[in-house]
Amino acid sequence: MADRQTIRDAAPVTPENPAAFPRLMRLVQGRLVAGVAQGAAAQLRLDPVVLRLAFVLLTVLDGIGAVAYAALWMFTPREPYEGKEPSRDWSQFAAYVAIGLALMSLGWLTGASSGGIGAWPIAVGGIGSLILWQQADPDRRRRWMDTTVGQVRQNRVRTFAGLVLVVVGAIGFLAANADLSQASSGIVFTLVVVGGVGLIAAPWLAGLWKELQRERRERIRQEERAEVAAHVHDSVLHTLTLIQRNAQDSREVMRLARSQERELRNWLYQPQQDADASVAAAVRRVAAEEEDTHGVPIEVVCVGDGPLTPELSAMMQAARQAMVNAAKYSGSEVISVYAEAEPDEVTIFVRDRGVGFDMGEVADDRMGIRQSIIGRMERHGGSARVRTAPGEGTEVMLTMKLEKA
């Protein structure tokens, strides 16, 4: 709503110094049709009645008045006007129309204006196209968005008037140039009418379509915003409260901050993945869980991805055990996990820079490495390699060949 308001406010451009070079404007207050005559009168410092009569007279004589009026309507900006537009003085309008009709019938009776009749269709068509043009005016369209009932009605009146004028103009054109009766009139006339209706309706429909699209985008944006707000509330705010409560326990604070960071990152940057179906997502989940349990940051880098098969699930268990060992015994500040999923092979590296150990001194019955990592990988057709030395950190390399589908 806010930006809509700004657009409205920004639309009318007022000259910086109106007194120096007054610009021709269509006045809203006291207009009869579009305020052209009034505006011109103000410019020329004349009574608007003089100009209105001049327009009527010129229109009756050869139609040029109507054309001039239409042209001025098109090219003159509307005076900026705040608030609801005042309605027109229809009685005065009727009076001018009556004067025009009277002059016209006089001309007809006397035969003086026979030449002028030919220009009529042009004038009427001109007004019709003016109305079309008005329909497509972007400022107008913006204003229509504030659909008050009055404007809707006004809009309908205008559309109807445009339709009538286009049809009349078309008939007049046919009547003046070719013989309407000789043309296979029915078809042509219908085509003209349909074309006129199409012309009138097209900008309106296009505007409506655009408006619908815009609203749809706006709605999606708002829904997204609401989702973000809900997420921040449920997770981040909640964690911040927990952190304040546990302020004296630095380990817990660290763990909370870290797990919240990871969760937010995943939400922001990671594609939504099913941890039960994809290798990369499964590795991330395992790492996240162990990081939460042991409070040691685990940095995960995944390259490629693939479906999670039963063998690869076993591999995840082995990787989990490797992470647990690193977190529990290595004393490393951070654990690096690198998973690469290629079409025919999946490799996972779990590395720490901790104390390391001597493989030879690990007893055969130690379940952690021999059974949970090496044994498990071999049972499922993969392999595991442990590289370590005292003081050099440890790296566990897991490889699983995939059967080609």
Partner 1 sequence: MSTVKVLIVDDHRLFRSGVRAELGESIEVLGEAEDVDSAVKAIAELQPDVVLLDVHMPGGGGQEVLRRVLGSGSTVRFLALSVSDAAEDVIGVIRGGARGYVTKTISGRELTDAIRRVADGDAVFSPRLAGFVLDAFASSEAPPIDPELDSLTQREREVLRLIARGYAYKEIAKELFISVKTVETHVSSVLRKLQLSNRHELSRWATARRLV
Q: Rule CB under 8 A: which residues touch partner 1?
A: 265, 268-269, 271-272, 297, 299, 301-304, 334, 336, 338, 340, 349, 351, 353, 395
Contact at 8 Å (CB) between 318 and 375? no
Rg over CA atoms, the chain:
40
Q: Which amino acid is at 405?
A: A
Residue 34 phi, psi (nearest 5)? -130, 0
Q: Which is nearer to partner 1, 129 or 273 (CB)?
A: 273
Owner of token pair 């030449």: 115
Q: Which is nearer to partner 1, 167 or 350 (CB)?
A: 350
Whose CA is closest to 354, among 330, 373, 375? Answer: 330
Number of H helices, E strands in the chain: 15, 5
Q: Which is nearer to partner 1, 72 or 283 (CB)?
A: 283
Q: Which is nearer to partner 1, 95 or 232 (CB)?
A: 232
Q: Which is nearer to partner 1, 205 or 303 (CB)?
A: 303
Q: Which is nearer to partner 1, 25 or 339 (CB)?
A: 339
Whose CA is closest to 384, among 375, 109, 87, 140? Answer: 375
Q: Which is nearer to partner 1, 41 or 350 (CB)?
A: 350
Q: From the CB of 283, what's the least distance to partner 1, in Å? A: 12
Q: Which is nearer to partner 1, 21 or 269 (CB)?
A: 269
Please provide the distance, in angstroms rounded to a whole number, between the alpha carbons at the two ends of the chain.
56
Q: Give the SS3 label for residue 198.
A: helix
Q: From the CB of 300, what's the least distance to partner 1, in Å? A: 9
Q: From the CB of 291, what's the least distance to partner 1, in Å? A: 13
CA distance 300 to 350: 9
- CA angle at 83 for the pair 80 and 89, rounded to the nearest 5°: 85
Q: From the CB of 315, what's the least distance to partner 1, in Å? A: 17
Question: Beta strands 335-341 and 298-303: pairing type?
Answer: parallel
Q: Which amino acid is at 230?
A: A
Q: From the CB of 370, what's the least distance to partner 1, in Å? A: 23
* Tokens (6 digits) for 230: 């809900």
Q: Calculate the CA 15 to chain-centre distance.
A: 33
Q: From the CB of 242, what's the least distance to partner 1, in Å? A: 21
Contact at 8 Å (CB) between 315 and 277? no
Long-range contacts of 365-368 (CB under 8 A, 24+ apart): 368/321, 368/324, 368/325
Contact at 8 Å (CB) between 207 and 141? yes
Q: Which is nearer to partner 1, 223 or 392 (CB)?
A: 392
